[in-house]
């Protein structure tokens, strides 16, 4: 619309000019080279315009003639450039499709037609990476360093190649250079943070975290949590050499993240050691309200050195009231009650927890309770056998690794604040036998392959052996069963397989049925396929068992044993 109005304005101006000249006639006389030319003013004006147009046409023709070589050269360069960018496009598609041969071919075409264009260098480097030619890839990235527009891209490529060959010093140097040239690079800042945490340079790591937060490369809440984790790591490292620095770092970490268990437990213990019990109690209670953890409970119970078992029990009761029905509070209270020899309270506290499915620690506490109260080795072994099948307790888990202690950085991936207090999946930690773990936690001094026998009813013979039902001899087993000598011998495991001996049928004696009565019989350890598995004879269920399976009636014609597991 604007152009139409402009054209109309031009034509209107010409029309006005023509009318103005027509209203004012005159004559123009030109004398040149003996010739005299006379005409009107209007015709002279039209002649001037025509001459100007002819001059412009002649000038354009001359320029076209003299510009033909340059035009041909420009057209050739444009065609080559177009072919080069077409090769770049096809090469990128080949890289995305995972075709190294086609990508290399298109990279060669792109270099021949487009030269050292940034996209050409990128295609060449990625094609070399795809084909596994690391030397050519590094050469392409080094070429990128010569141009300002591709310098950061070249640094990133060299950083990746250095990490692939394991040269962490070179990778760190490239990341440092990239941050100096472009401070807002996310990958370079993240890489420097990883390098600092891997080297244990917590101060530099905190500086990197603060820089990332200032550049908005990380969320403020995440940056705050990371600063707290780094302060906790610094406090744990400086506890033995610089206690004042360690305490200051731990207290600052608890301010940033009150639920950070390692910082809270360390700060509480150090405050207690300095005699500031009130502040330690307040800090630990605040941390317990955020997250319940055994380390916080242990630090809370030990907050005043020299306390009696009754004082620790009272403190455990106060802690459990902060988070009612919390499993960790229940376990802490039960442990304190056992140490205070308030066995009934321990049973009452553990009963709801056992009803919901006892974990390994709950079963171990019940075993400790039975041993401390009654010294009943049979019931102790029953709870130990339950512990081998019980659900796992929470632990520190990160990247498939289960750890007993917290670490600021995952040793698997190097990720900061990777450990989470949670119940490990059943697939983790399967390389370690559960039976050995439970027994080692409970009784470090007792060999794992021993199980002491307990006296049985007076009617039991002096020696009991696992035997098949009466009848024709059964095929010999692949591994001999363990024999338990009663009442004073210990179950021994055969050190190596023995020749199979057909078992002798046991004689069947007619006996009068006797009323069932609770009895405790021994546990034998059988060697099955090279692994230790407990063979447990029928025992009476403990009175605290919330949901016992009924023991089936014992048939005289069947072996009197059952396998747990």
Which residues share a beta bridge with 40? 27
CB proximity list for 316: less than 8 A, separation 6 or greater = 297, 300, 301, 332, 333, 335, 336, 337
pLDDT (tens digit per residue) in 347-391: 998 998 888 778 899 999 999 999 998 887 889 999 999 999 888
Q: pLDDT tens digits, residue range 133-176?
A: 888 899 999 999 988 888 999 999 999 999 998 999 999 999 99
Query: Across-strand partners of 27?
Result: 40
Judge whether residue 238 has pLDDT over 90.
yes
Query: How wide is the angle at C-alpha 272 spanned by C-alphas 267 and 274, nearest 5°?
Result: 95
Neighbours of 428 (CB within 10 A): 13
* Cα dist from 93 to 89, 107, 243, whole Å: 6, 12, 59
Q: Is 296 exposed, middle or buried (0-12, 13-18, 19+ CB in 10 A)?
A: buried
Using one digit for the tens of pLDDT, what is the confidence trace for 2-52? 888 888 898 888 888 878 877 777 788 888 888 888 888 778 878 888 889
Q: How many helices (H) and strands (E) does the chain have?
A: 21, 10
Band (427; pLDDT cuts 50, 70, 90):
low
- Beta-carbon contacts of residue 485 (< 8 Å; ≥ 6 apart): 453, 462, 463
SS3 state of residue 42: helix
Helices 377-389 and 360-373, packing angle to 10 deg: 180
Say how far apart CA 98 and CA 87 lie, in whole Å.
16
Six-digit token string for 60: 């354009």
Q: 315 or 515: which carries more pLDDT confidence?
A: 315
Domain map (residue ranges) of the chain: 7-66
pLDDT score at 502: 42
Given this model, what pLDDT does residue 37 score? 81
pLDDT in tens, 346-356: 999 899 888 87
Which pLDDT value is given to residue 537?
37
Mean pLDDT score of the chain, rounded to an integer?
77
Treating both helix axes as pointing N-terminal to C-terminal, what angle do 186-199 and 202-214 enclose, rounded to 10 degrees? Answer: 160
pLDDT of residue 478: 39
Of the candidates 187, 165, 169, the one whose C-alpha atom is nearest the C-alpha of residue 178 is 187
Q: What's the rounded mean pLDDT across residues 335-342?
A: 93
**Average pLDDT rounded to a whole number, residues 77-91:** 88
Cα dihedral 95/100/103/105 (nearest 10) = 180
The predicted model gives 469-488 an average pLDDT of: 38
């Amino acid at each position: 619309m604007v152009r139409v109005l402009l054209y109309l304005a031009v034509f209107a101006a010409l029309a006005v000019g023509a009318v103005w000249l027509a209203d004012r006639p005159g004559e123009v006389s030109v004398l040149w080279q003996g010739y005299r030319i006379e005409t009107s003013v209007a015709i002279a004006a039209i002649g001037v315009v025509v001459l100007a147009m002819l001059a412009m046409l002649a000038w354009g023709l001359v320029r076209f003639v003299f510009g033909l070589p340059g035009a041909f050269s420009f057209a050739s360069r444009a065609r080559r450039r177009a072919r080069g960018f077409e090769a770049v496009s096809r090469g990128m598609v080949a890289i995305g499709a995972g075709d190294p041969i086609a990508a290399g071919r298109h990279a060669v075409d792109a270099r021949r037609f487009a030269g050292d264009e940034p996209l050409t260098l990128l295609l060449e480097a990625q094609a070399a990476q795809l084909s596994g030619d690391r030397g050519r890839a590094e050469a392409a990235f080094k070429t990128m360093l010569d141009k300002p527009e591709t310098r950061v891209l070249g640094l990133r490529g060299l950083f990746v190649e250095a990490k692939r060959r394991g040269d962490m010093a070179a990778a760190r140097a490239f990341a440092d250079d990239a941050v100096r040239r472009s401070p807002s690079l996310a990958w370079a800042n993240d890489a420097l943070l990883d390098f600092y945490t891997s080297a244990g340079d917590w101060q530099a790591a905190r500086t990197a975290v603060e820089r990332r937060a200032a550049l908005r490369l990380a969320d403020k809440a995440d940056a705050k949590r990371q600063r707290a984790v780094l302060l906790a790591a610094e406090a744990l490292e400086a506890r033995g050499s610089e206690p004042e620095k360690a305490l200051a770092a731990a207290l600052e970490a608890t301010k940033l993240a009150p639920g950070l268990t390692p910082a809270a437990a360390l700060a509480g213990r150090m405050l207690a050691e300095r005699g500031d019990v009130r502040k330690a109690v307040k800090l630990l209670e605040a941390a317990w309200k955020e997250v319940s953890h055994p380390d916080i409970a242990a630090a809370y119970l030990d907050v005043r050195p020299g306390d009696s078992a009754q004082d620790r029990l009272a403190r455990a009761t106060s802690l459990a009231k902060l988070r009612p029905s919390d499993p960790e509070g229940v376990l802490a209270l039960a442990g304190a009650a056992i140490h205070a020899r308030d066995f009934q309270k321990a049973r009452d506290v553990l009963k709801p927890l056992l009803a919901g499915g006892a974990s390994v620690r709950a079963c171990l506490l019940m075993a400790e309770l039975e041993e401390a109260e009654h010294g009943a080795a049979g019931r102790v072994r029953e709870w130990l056998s339950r512990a081998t099948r019980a659900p796992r307790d929470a632990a520190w888990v990160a990247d498939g690794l289960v750890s007993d202690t917290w670490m600021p950085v995952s040793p698997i991936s190097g990720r900061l604040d990777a450990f989470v207090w949670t119940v490990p999946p059943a697939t983790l930690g399967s390389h370690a036998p559960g039976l050995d773990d439970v027994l080692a936690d409970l009784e470090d001094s007792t060999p794992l392959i021993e199980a002491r026998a307990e006296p049985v009813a007076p009617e039991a013979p002096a020696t009991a052996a696992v035997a098949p039902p009466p009848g024709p001899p059964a095929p010999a087993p692949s591994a001999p069963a363990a024999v338990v000598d009663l009442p004073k011998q210990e179950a021994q495991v055969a050190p190596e397989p023995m020749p199979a001996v057909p078992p002798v049928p046991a004689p069947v004696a007619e006996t009068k049925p006797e009323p069932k009565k609770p009895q405790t019989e021994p546990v034998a350890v059988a060697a099955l396929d090279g692994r230790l598995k407990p063979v447990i004879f029928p025992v009476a269920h403990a009175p605290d068992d919330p949901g016992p399976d009924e023991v089936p009636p014992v048939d005289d014609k069947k072996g009197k044993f059952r396998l747990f597991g």
